[in-house]
A and B are shown apart, each in its own frame.
Chain A
């Protein structure tokens, strides 16, 4: 029983870690987008306000991918272990 619970907890933690790999992408994407925005503002300083607005909206969209991963990681870390262990215990009790 302890081994099974240990495997469940380990797999949940491993899954959360793997899910957070997706959090790297938005950071790189936002970085590249802002770098290009700097270049654009350098060429056309008067467009700063419009570029900032577009950048903010673009970054918010890009960050959603990271948020999906974050939510999966949160659920796997804080919600899934308890539920899975409960299911395991109930199954073991039913089987006797």
Chain B
């Protein structure tokens, strides 16, 4: 199996952090409303782990697909998406049947919420514009983008 790319690991950690924070918020809401029971915690843990695993597997698929030809990449992503859907179906079904339904379903959307907050707390050192036209180092070793007087 290929080693996960640094970008994939970094983004997965970002998503996992947000999932953890949002899971804590979900548990707090259940505690405040007096609806908390162990089923809520276990359902939340199962579903949050599934959501992060889904994102990580998607990252691995994207990483593998980027090394392939366009057509193969497209097919690989479709296959990967179908398999991940089955995985999430199994996780969701387990959660709904054996744990709290709400606590098992809601964490599946936490990665989406994390992506929504990405522009606010995202990695600032990744340029969002034209990468090729970024500042280049000059021959004297000075960093680009600064005026040398």
Contacts and interface: CB of A to CB of B under 8 A. Distances in A.
Interface in B16-40: none
B53 interface: no
Given A27-B82, A70-B92, A53 B70 contact: no
Interface string B81-102: 1101100110011001100010
Question: Which of under 10, 10 to 19, 20 to 34, or 35 or more describes the interface residues of B?
Answer: 35 or more
A55 B64 CA distance: 13
Where chain A touches its partner, the secondary structure class is: helix
Contacts of B93: 74, 77-78
Where chain B touches its partner, the secondary structure class is: helix
Interface string B102-117: 0001001101100100
Nearest to B59: A56
Interface string A51-69: 1110111011101101100
Contacts of B128: 50
B73 A34 contact: yes
A79 B11 contact: no
Given A31-B77, A60-B111, A70-B85, A75 B96 contact: yes
B55 A60 contact: yes
Interface in A6-62: 23, 26-28, 30-39, 41, 44, 46-53, 55-57, 59-61
Given A38-B68, A41-B66, A56-B11, 20 more contacts: A27-B77, A28-B78, A31-B73, A34-B62, A38-B65, A46-B131, A47-B131, A49-B6, A49-B126, A51-B66, A52-B5, A52-B8, A63-B54, A67-B109, A70-B89, A70-B92, A71-B108, A77-B93, A78-B93, A79-B101
